Amino acid sequence: MAARILMVEDDDAIAAPLARALGREGYEIERAANGAEALAIAAGPVPIDLVLLDLGLPDMDGLDVCRRLRADGFAAGIMILTARGGELDRVVGLDVGADDYLSKPFSLSELLARSRALLRRSSRPVATPTEPATAHSAPAAPTPAAGGLRVDADARRVRVDGTELALTAKEFDVLLRLDTQRGAVVTREVLMSEVWDENWFGSTKTLDTTVGRLRQKLQDAHAPVALSTVRGVGFRLEDAAPDA
């Protein structure tokens, strides 16, 4: 069963691309453009597994929405997404019942990682992109152990046979994205959109440079994986042959 996410965001320019990106990850998306609508959807008959909550809503403050949700017994995860990034704002947001707080602007990869972490704690059994329900037909194998390469999204750490690999933020984001679909091709467009920003207007040469550095680091660490270029399409991370 796919996780169902309620996105509470009044800005179409933010909501539309974010909904598309989450949809590509296999989530079911409900969108509310104001607080009253959000409360009505959350109280509806179809369970919500995670709320992504903007604070600047047209009819009420998002903090009041969060407070009302908890008062009404809403038990699933709530993540606040807002431009209010001060320490006091974060403390207040968490105190009124949010589970996580992410300041705008944020990277999609970080949002996805935090969403997966909250969904793993959900009381309802749901599938996240890293769980077997969205994997290919191969038998489910825990990613951390596969190939001796462990990509820990929550801690943002990478280990090769127990030894930590030092990566830049973008190198980590690219590796994490490829690892979530190990063995499959991830297109250049998806990587640029999700790791950098879909509004990135610069050269995609930065992607090739990042992949090149990442590939070299994996090779230097003798990681038993191959990061392959699929010409004209994108990149693929796959387990290396045992004798490779």
Over the stretch 1-14, which tens digit does the pLDDT of each residue have? 788 999 999 988 88
57 confidence band (pLDDT: 50, 70, 90): very high
At 158-193, the pLDDT tens digits run: 888 888 888 888 888 899 889 888 888 888 888 887
Helix (H/G/I), strand (E/B), else coil: 163: strand
By the 8 A CB rule, do 133 and 127 touch?
Answer: yes
pLDDT at 241 over 80: no
Q: How far is the C-alpha of 159 from the C-alpha of 182, rounded, in Å?
A: 16
Helix (H/G/I), strand (E/B), else coil: 160: strand
pLDDT of residue 131: 43
pLDDT at 80 over 80: yes
Closest C-alpha to 186, from 178, 175, 194? 178
pLDDT of residue 133: 38
Closest C-alpha to 6, from 35, 25, 17, 58? 35
22 residue type, one letter: L
At 184-221, the pLDDT tens digits run: 888 888 888 788 765 554 556 788 888 999 999 999 99
Sheet containing 234-239, strands listed edge to edge, beginning at the edge strand earlier in sequence: 185-187, 234-239, 225-230
pLDDT of residue 155: 78
88 confidence band (pLDDT: 50, 70, 90): confident
By the 8 A CB rule, do 189 and 241 touch?
Answer: no
pLDDT of residue 145: 42
Strand 4-8 to 28-32 pairing: parallel
Q: Got the DSSP string for 10-65? A: --HHHHHHHHHHHHHTT-EEEEESSHHHHHHHHTSSS--SEEEE-SB-SSSBHHHH
Other Cβ atoms closer than 10 A to 148? 18
Closest C-alpha to 24, from 5, 52, 50, 43? 5
Q: What is the average pLDDT across 215-242?
A: 88
Helix 35-42 to helix 62-71 angle, to the nearest 10 degrees? Answer: 20
Helix (H) or strand (E) holding 84: none
Q: How far is the C-alpha of 130 from the C-alpha of 133, rounded, in Å?
A: 8
pTM of the model: 0.54
Q: How far is the C-alpha of 122 from the C-alpha of 5, rounded, in Å?
A: 12
